Amino acid sequence: MCGIVGYVGQRSALDVVVGGLRRLEYRGYDSGGVALVTADGLATAKKAGKLVNLDAELEARPLPHATTGIGHTRWATHGAPNDVNAHPHVDDTGRVAVVHNGIIENFAELRAELEADGHELVSETDTEVVSHLVADRLAAGEPLPQAVHTVCRRLEGAFTLVICDAQTPGVVVGARRNSPLVVGRGDGENFLGSDVAAFIEFTRDAIELGQDQVVVITADDIVVTDFDGAPSPTRDYHVDWDLSAAEKGGYDWFMLKEIAEQPQAVADTLLGRHSSDGLLQLDEMRLSDDELRNVDKIIAIACGTSYYAAMVAKYAIEHWTRIPVEVELASEFRYRDPILDRSTLVVTISQSGETMDTLMAIRYARQQRARVLSICNTNGSTIPRESDAVLYTHAGPEVAVASTKGFLAQVVACYLLGLYLAQVKGVKYGDEIRRIVDDLEATPAAIQRVLDDAEEVRKIASALAGSRSILFLGRHVGYPVALEGALKLKELAYLHAEGFAAGELKHGPIAVIEEGVPVFVVVPPKGRDQLQEKIISNIQEIRARGARTIVLVDENEVDAVSAFADHIIRLPRVPTLFQPLVATVPLQIFACEFAAQLGHDVDQPRNLAKSVTVE
pLDDT at position 502 is 92
Note if 414 is an active site residue. no
Which is nearest to 557 in space by CA: 544, 539, 542, 545? 539
| Of 48, 20, 18, residue with least CA distance to 34 | 18
What residues contact residue 248 under an 8 Å CB cut-off, 6+ apart?
254, 257
Q: What is the pTM of this model?
A: 0.77
409, 547 Cβ separation under 8 angstroms: no
Nearest CA to 326 among 359, 361, 360, 298? 298
* Domains recognised in the chain with CATH numbers: 3-246 (3.60.20.10), 254-441 (3.40.50.10490), 452-597 (3.40.50.10490)
DSSP letter for each residue of 182-216: EEEE-SS-EEEESSGGGTTTT--EEEE--TTEEEE
- Report the run of H or E that residue 592 belongs to, with start and end: helix 579-597
CA angle 238, 241, 243 (to 5 degrees): 115
pLDDT mean by block of 10 residues, the chain; 615 residues = 90 97 80 96 96 97 97 85 95 97 89 96 95 98 98 92 97 91 96 92 92 96 97 88 70 92 92 78 84 96 96 98 96 91 96 90 94 88 90 86 95 97 94 94 97 96 93 96 98 95 90 93 86 91 93 94 94 96 98 96 87 65
Closest CA to 7 of 246, 217, 237: 217
**Distance between CA atoms of residues 453 and 472, nearest Å:** 21
Quote the CA–CA distance of 519 and 610 in Å, as a whole number: 28
H or E element, residue 132: helix 128-139
Known active-site residue 2: yes
Annotated active-site residue in 2, 164, 303, 592: 2
Instruction: Note whether 430 and 437 are within 8 A (CB).
Output: no
Backbone conformation region of residue 604, classed left if phi is above 0, alpha if psi is from -120 to 50, else beta? beta
DSSP of 260-322, one letter per residue? HTHHHHHHHHHTT-B-TTS-B--TB--S-HHHHHT--EEEEEE-HHHHHHHHHHHHHHHHHH-
The H-or-E segment that residue 335 falls in is: none
The set of residues, in sequence order, having a beta carbon less than 8 Å from that of 522 and lying 6+ positions away, is 472, 473, 474, 475, 478, 481, 482, 485, 552, 579, 583
User: What phi and psi values does residue 356 have, to the nearest 5 degrees?
Assistant: -65, -40
Note the pLDDT of residue 28. 64
* Helix 51-60 and helix 13-23, axial crossing angle in degrees, nearest 10: 160
Buried b or exposed e, range 361-376, using 16+ CB within 10 angstroms: bbebbbebebbbbbbb
Name the catalytic one among 47, 314, 490, 610: 610
112 CB-near residues (< 8 Å, 6+ apart): none
Amino acid at 80: A
Using alpha carbons, select from 461, 524, 537 the residue that is nearest to residue 495.
Answer: 461
Phi (first) and psi of residue 355, to 5 degrees: -60, 115
Spacing of C-alpha 567 from chain mean position: 33
E strands present in 339-380 = 344-350, 371-376
User: Beta partners for 325?
Assistant: 298
Strand 567-571, strand 548-554: pairing: parallel
Angle at 305 between CA 505 and CA 347, to 5 degrees: 105
In angstroms, the CA 539 to CA 557 distance is 15
